[in-house]
Structure 1
Amino acid sequence: MEQSARNKRSGIFKKTAIYVLVGLICLFAVFPFLWMIDISLKPQSEIYQNPPTLWPSELNWNGYKQMLNFGADDNLNFIKWFLNSTLVSVMTTLFAIIISTLGGYAMSRFKFRGRMGIGYIILITQMLPGSLLMIPMYIIMRDLNLLNTHMALVLAYTTFAVPFCTWMLKGYFDTISPTIDEAAMVDGANRFTTFWRIILPLTLPGLVVTAIFSFITSWNEFLFAFTLLNGADMWTLSVGIASFQGQYIVNWDYIMAGSALTTLPIVLIFWSMEKYLVRGMTAGAVK
């Protein structure tokens, strides 16, 4: 009886410790977002207050109002920047998914000499920092007359997204038995029909994971957007929000309000695609 009570107390203690640990980890992960919301709602006088206050004494919505001004001020066109980022991110995602899907399927199904060598070369490109590629990429875009265009960003972002997405999808295709391809071909389907109508529907979780990765990569990127775009009407969100940091004055309420609005689409995407994201990460990345 005493041993049973001791085991029960031990189980309750372990469960409580796990809950506390998970709560602390969640708080650590969510704290930057909560701090961003807090700063975006504080007046300028309270932002620089020492010691800082935990909550704003009065809610300051000026940053959000200015950000959602719908272009009334030519120097503050958040909606335009939002549309630019959406266009670039969606096009990058489409290009990356098309290329990496075909590449991943080829590396998984076709056995040819140098297959893994090509795969490792593709993967090594992920090890190169963006700053190292900035000058060559700028020269290439200049020679192609693509400077200050969104297509320049799409091409640049696609080169970063494709290597990871290709390997991610290869791992997912490897989990699908080749006998499925063989059965479809025995029934009269050619290789492309098998790939398009049989294999792709089975890889939906993996496609969602790679699509989210490609979208976030282009949505948050700053360095290439800042270098390749020189017109305020062409800016993406990351460059537009960074423009509020001046030499002597930093409008933190504007920056944090814009950052909160920029983060919102990513949160909604993760929330709506959660089940596919978990399935894709566990099935494709682990195996």
Structure 2
Amino acid sequence: MRRTGPRRWLIGALKALAVAAILVWSLAPILLIVSSSLKPERDIFAVPPSLTFRPTLEHYAALWARWPEFFHALGNSAVIAALATVIAVFASLLAGYAYSRFPSRWVNASGSLLIVVRLIPPIVLTLPLFPAANALGFQDTHLFLAVLYATFFVSLGAFVMRGFIDQIPREMDEAAAVDGAGRFRTLFRIVMPLAAQGMMAVAVFVAVYAWNEFLFAFVFTSTRAKTAPLVLAEVIGNFDGVEWGVLFAAATVQLLPVLLFVWLTQKFLVAGLTAGATKG
């Protein structure tokens, strides 16, 4: 009993140290970006770093004046992320219901195929897709980019939804069938409301990915559907030199909406990560 106290204290201290390390690792880059966007240009890369400074909004004013296309690109990112989220959530709901309620060798094989496709590096997929998209006139459109993002995440979304739907008793489906409800009516009237938390989890995953994705946007867009990450890359590659203050301001503007979205939906994100871990 005498050894239990010090041992428990040591374990608690190690856990606290691990949590602190994770917080520093995760939050330090964000704090660096936000604070640098508020520093005068001379203080951004000062050695040693200036911890006390007079905040300024000059970099945000310069961003608004010199890079108006960035805010248009933010609108494109929002539209594409919203479209991708709706498509991915609907497709994941249908796929998750099929995997949960109609298990078979071929259905399970298709699930394995989804995982295999998900493991393929995205750059490999762009090679055959680029000439096809160009020939069909889908290049530089919001809908095509949204479909790409949704397709890339349906594999993950399907298995997240399967984990939630598995926890819904099959007896509810049978009771609905006795009352005369078909499969689709059962899905949308019974299963979907009970699996709403899983749908929100999938929505969080897809929206965050679509908001931050760069490679597909770089390959398949040029002007009309250009997203915010592409404009950030243009700020870095400016011929007049990198305006670091403007770059940090743009990164902050692009970062804050997704941080707020994740903070508001964090319980759904955790639920998605633990889907299927327990049986209801």
TM (normalized to structure 1)?
0.88
1:228 to 220, 225, 230: 220
Q: Which runs of 4+ in 1 moved over 4 A?
A: 6-10
* Residue 232 (structure 2) aligns with: 241
Deviation at 1:204, TM superposition (A): 1.6
Contact 1:206 1:281 in 2 (8 A): no
* Residue 61 (structure 2) aligns with: 65
In 1: Cα distance, 2:26 partner to 2:278 partner: 23
* Residue 267 (structure 2) aligns with: 275
1:20 to 14, 17, 20: 17
Q: Map 1:11-90; keep pairs closer than 5 Å.
A: 11-49=8-46, 51-55=47-51, 57-67=53-63, 69=64, 73=66, 75-90=67-82
Contact 2:43 2:50 in 1 (8 A): no
Q: Map 1:179-198; keep pairs closer than 5 Å.
A: 179-198=171-190
In 2: Cα distance, 1:119 partner to 1:147 partner: 29
Contact 1:153 1:225 in 2 (8 A): yes
| Secondary structure in 2 matching 1:114 | helix
Q: Please, what is the CA RMSD of the aligned residues?
A: 2.2
Q: Map 1:63-142; keep pairs closer than 5 Å.
A: 63-67=59-63, 69=64, 73=66, 75-142=67-134
Distance 1:114 1:9, change over 3 A: closer
Deviation at 1:199, TM superposition (A): 0.8
Deviations 1:216-259 (A, max 9, x none): 1111011111222112x532111112211125611221222111
Which stretch shifts more, 91-100 or 251-260? Answer: 251-260
Could you list the runs of 5+ residues in structure 2 that have no partner in the other structure? none
| Secondary structure in 2 matching 1:155 | helix
Distance 1:223 1:33, change over 3 A: same
In 2: Cα distance, 1:135 partner to 1:41 partner: 41
Q: Percent identity?
A: 31
Deviations 1:63-105 (A, max 9, x none): 22234x3xx65x4333211111000000000011111111111
In 2: Cα distance, 1:248 partner to 1:52 partner: 27
Deviations 1:94-128 (A, max 9, x none): 01111111111112112445111111111111111
Aligned residues: 278
Which stretch shifts more, 158-167 or 75-84? Answer: 75-84
1:151 to 143, 147, 154: 143
Contact 1:172 1:285 in 2 (8 A): no
Distance 1:33 1:145, change over 3 A: same
Deviation at 1:198, TM superposition (A): 1.0
